């Protein structure tokens, strides 16, 4: 089957023989289920016993997003979809329970985050003014295969891709799957700059979900840009993957890496491309914005004001993907879309979504809503 997009042609691999394919699918499903059960149990083990049992008895494991434990409040479980928040019991969280969970997890970093070794889960702490932990957010981390097929055709171009979207929409999950596909299927030298150990998981040995990609730890979040440059200078990557580009130093490191011909795959804070354009710290990722004063004749020719905004350089990320929902993404050719946005016009985009059968449907050259 061939999938035509506005950016090119993606040749899908031929189906395997019927009996062999069915057997492999069963093995993969069994292996994935066992790994998933192990990962969930590892998360539940750090919780109080009654919460552990309560969650094990529920059938919504696949929809569980996080467990929240705040001192003096009822513990909650958050799920995807409607009725997303549920109390797990009718008694409040105690300091003793928080201390038990903290001891089970181990040390938190300066960003108040910790992981569970061998898993992709993230535990985030809330501290009081004395530095004691008074709340925990236990975020479920999953390796989901197939999520990448929404943008797999873009990878063949070797161009940098920026993902934007609100928290919880699946950006880190996509980073993980892209790392696996690029390193294993496309045989690229991939290095992940894993600031919070969210992409590669906790512990010294990376989670198998990232395939053959190598992972560099970051001791402090503010050191992320230095580790990005170190990855280039020391490890000769063809691709660098980085989550949560947020500071001016990160942006400068991205531009420096892109200028060396290395493909970048990253995420940034914001729901849409327009948010990046309007963000003075991040706008250099999309080429930067400058004020230009036109002459009288030029302004009349363009039928615009004399003072206008223009993109000042090629974008660091030629592609930008807005993850509006888990199964509804909008893809931009960054340079074209930014130019139109600065002119006050709506860009033409490519809408990528999954239908009821979870097949990817691509609608080309739509006016952005």
Eight-class DSSP state of 71: B
Q: Record the pTM.
A: 0.80
Q: What is the pLDDT of residue 177?
A: 94
Alpha-carbon distance 27 to 9, whole Å?
31
Domain ranges of the chain: 37-139, 148-367
Q: What is the pLDDT of residue 82?
A: 57
Domain 148-367 coded CATH 3.40.50.300? yes
N-terminal to C-terminal alpha carbon distance within the chain: 30
DSSP string of 87-120? ES-SSPBPHHHHHHHHHHH----TTSEEE-BTS-
Alpha-carbon distance 348 to 337, whole Å?
7
Alpha-carbon distance 342 to 357, whole Å?
38
Q: What is the pLDDT of residue 285?
A: 96
Phi, psi for residue 291 in degrees, rounded to 5: -90, 130
Q: What is the pLDDT of residue 295?
A: 82
How crowded is residue 104: how many other Cβ atoms within 10 Å of its Cβ?
13
Radius of gyration of the chain (CA): 23
Please classify residue 207 by burial: count the beta carbons closer than 10 Å to its beta carbon, then call 0-12 exposed, 13-18 middle and 19+ buried. Answer: buried
Q: What is the CATH number of domain 37-139?
A: 3.30.450.90
Alpha-carbon distance 79 to 70, whole Å?
18
pLDDT in tens, the chain (369 residues): 334 343 333 333 333 333 333 333 433 433 344 445 557 888 999 999 999 888 888 777 778 889 999 999 999 999 887 567 889 999 999 999 999 999 998 888 888 988 888 888 999 999 999 999 999 999 998 887 877 889 999 999 999 999 999 988 889 999 999 999 999 999 999 999 998 888 998 888 999 999 999 999 998 889 999 999 999 999 999 999 999 999 999 999 999 999 999 999 999 989 999 999 999 999 999 999 998 888 877 778 877 787 888 999 999 999 999 999 989 999 999 999 999 999 989 999 999 999 988 899 999 877 776
């Amino acid at each position: 089957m061939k999938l035509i997009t506005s950016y090119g042609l993606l040749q899908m691999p031929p189906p395997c023989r019927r009996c062999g394919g069915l057997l492999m699918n069963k093995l993969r499903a069994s292996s994935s289920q066992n790994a998933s059960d192990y990962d969930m149990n590892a998360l539940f083990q750090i919780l109080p016993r009654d919460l552990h049992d309560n969650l094990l008895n529920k059938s919504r494991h696949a929809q569980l997003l996080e467990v929240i434990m705040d001192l003096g409040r009822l513990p909650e479980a958050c799920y995807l979809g409607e009725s997303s928040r549920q109390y797990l019991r009718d008694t409040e969280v105690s300091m003793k329970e928080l201390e038990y969970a903290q001891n089970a997890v181990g040390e938190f970093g300066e960003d108040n985050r910790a992981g569970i070794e061998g898993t992709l889960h993230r535990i985030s702490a809330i501290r009081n003014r004395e530095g004691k932990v008074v709340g925990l957010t236990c975020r479920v981390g999953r390796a989901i295969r197939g999520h990448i097929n929404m943008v797999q055709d873009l990878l063949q171009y070797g161009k940098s891709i920026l993902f934007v979207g609100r928290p919880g929409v699946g950006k880190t999950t996509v980073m993980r799957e892209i790392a696996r596909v690029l390193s294993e299927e496309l045989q690229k030298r991939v290095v992940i700059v894993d600031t919070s150990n969210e992409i590669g998981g906790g512990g010294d040995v990376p989670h198998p979900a990232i395939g053959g990609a190598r992972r560099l730890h970051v001791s402090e979040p503010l050191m992320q840009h230095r580790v990005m440059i170190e990855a280039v200078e020391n490890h000769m990557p063809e691709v660098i993957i980085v989550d949560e580009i947020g500071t001016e130093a990160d942006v400068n490191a991205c531009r420096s890496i892109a200028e060396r011909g290395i493909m970048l795959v990253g995420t940034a804070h914001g729901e849409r491309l327009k948010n990046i354009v309007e963000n003075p710290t991040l706008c250099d990722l999309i080429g930067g914005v400058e004020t230009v004063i036109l002459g009288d004749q030029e302004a009349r020719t363009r039928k615009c004001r004399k003072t206008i905004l223009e993109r000042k350089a090629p974008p660091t990320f030629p592609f930008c993907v807005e993850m509006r929902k888990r199964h509804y993404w909008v893809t931009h050719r960054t340079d074209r879309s930014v130019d139109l946005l600065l002119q006050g016009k709506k860009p033409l985009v490519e809408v990528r979504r999954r239908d009821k059968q979870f097949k990817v449907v691509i609608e080309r050259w739509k006016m952005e809503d």
